[in-house]
Amino acid sequence: MPAYRRNLYFFAALGVVLFVPFVWFVTSMVRRNSNGLTREFRARRGEINWRIAARGRVEGATSQETKLASRVVGRLKEVTVTDGDPVRKGQVVAVLENGDLKARVDEARANLERAQALLQRLLNGARPEERSAARAEMEEAQAAAENARQNYERAQQLFQDGGIVSQSALDQAQRDWKMGQAKLESARERYKLIMAPPRSEDVLAAKADVELARARLAQAEDNYQNTFVRSPVDGVIVKRNMNPGESISYESLFQPIVSVADTTRLIVRAEVDETDIGKIQIGQRADIRCEAYPGQTFYGRVARISGGLGKKKVQTDNPTEKIDTDVLETFVEVDPGSPLRVGLRVDVYVQLARKENVLIVPRRAVMLTDGVPLVQLKTAAGLRSQPVRLGAQDGMHVEILEGLKEDDVVAY
């Protein structure tokens, strides 16, 4: 192909490329009115939702970790949790070998039961069978003693009547009577002892034995329970430091087995850009969203504001993100019942102003002239500058309190 023809094709193509933008420019200029305004907006009822967006990370409300250690020496039998596991207050997170301590608990409990039984037996006194037997024994001794007395009196009379019985027989009858009297007295004393209430000193001694046994059982149970490491709070395991089989000596007695973060209440440590710090106030509502729960919104309130600016700590995966920006740490307390987990990165939207069913126009439609807000109102005679009184505003729209009515058309 000749060179002149190639140049002709090139300039023709270049002309087409330049012609399209030229036509668009001319058309847009034609559409502009005499004031250079190209857009129109019909004032309508709408919503003002002014928010500040910030990145944040979920933390426990205390922002502190509780380190859980054993109170006794021994060897770890099991650790029932690992990093990131949720735990409830009182839940067992680790167990030490404790078979010998369990046996001591059983022994101490048996000793307590024995001491209680002895005390109860003392308070109850003799059984009905024992009381009946003692009474029968006393009555039998009384009958024997009476019979021996009668035999003695008879022998004495016969001895006095002419020596019908010998002196030795009389002496034997007397001894039998005295023996019967002694047996009767013994039976009476035994019966009184069985029927009498327990002595106060015996009761006090028996009660002391019970209290001693109870104290030893409590000590044994305490030693046994100390082999179970429990979480003192509802939370999440931040770090597991020890594994089953590791020994805990007196030197390492306070070494943490696991660390738990309190999640009874959650907060979001949000980083507000320095350009927005003048808009943040305690008590403002906040929406919380994250990729882990798409389509869901959680709520909270600004509970605390840091006293000064600092460097950004919560970073995204965007390689172009600026990390040397100064930010103000703002702490948003999450409403109860949220499934958010400690360490989760979230987006926080702090509500600055929210109004519904208000008259709105675009922010770009409002101009300031000598400090007075104006809009270009479209009338039958053309555009007219109309003063307005403004209300709340967000990034897109502004509320019109006075100066316009619904369906008025403004140009901008």
Q: Which CATH superfamily is domain 49-61+265-411 in?
A: Efflux pump adaptor protein, beta barrel domain (2.40.30.170)
Q: Which two tokens stand for residue 173?
A: 């009858």
pLDDT at 158: 84
Residue 170: HSE in the Cβ half-sphere, 13 Å Cα cutoff: 14
The segment with the largest mean pLDDT, out of 24-28, 33-37, 198-202, 255-259, is 255-259
Query: Cα-flanking dihedrals φ and ψ of residue 252, to 5°?
Result: -110, 25
Q: What is the mean pLDDT of residues 276-284?
A: 85
Kindly report the average pLDDT of the chain as a whole number: 82
pLDDT at 224: 93
- Is 331's pLDDT higher than 50? yes
pLDDT band at 3 (very low <50, low <70, confident <90, very high): low
CA dist., res. 116 & res. 213, Å (int): 9
pLDDT at 317: 55
pLDDT digits (tens, 9 = 90+) for 20-64: 444 433 343 334 444 556 789 999 999 888 888 888 988 876 656
pLDDT digits (tens, 9 = 90+) for 309-328: 877 766 655 544 555 567 88
pLDDT digits (tens, 9 = 90+) for 357-380: 999 999 999 999 888 999 999 998
CATH fold for the domain made of 73-96+227-261: OB fold (Dihydrolipoamide Acetyltransferase, E2P) (2.40.50)
- Is 4's pLDDT higher than 70? no
- Is 116's pLDDT higher than 70? yes
CA dist., res. 109 & res. 254, Å (int): 30
Which residues, at least 6 apart from 120, have a Cβ–Cβ distance to it below 8 Å?
none
| More confident: 173 or 215 | 215
CA dist., res. 83 & res. 64, Å (int): 16
Mean pLDDT check: name the lowest of 250-254, 284-288, 323-327, 381-385.
Answer: 323-327
pLDDT digits (tens, 9 = 90+) for 132-188: 888 888 888 889 888 888 988 888 888 888 778 788 888 888 888 889 888 888 888
pLDDT at 296: 92
Q: Say which CATH architecture domain 106-220 belongs to.
A: Up-down Bundle (1.20)
DSSP state of 370: T
- Is 330's pLDDT higher than 60? yes
pLDDT band at 16 (very low <50, low <70, confident <90, very high): very low
52: closest CA among 366, 354, 364? 354
> Per-domain residue ranges for the chain?
1-31, 49-61+265-411, 73-96+227-261, 106-220
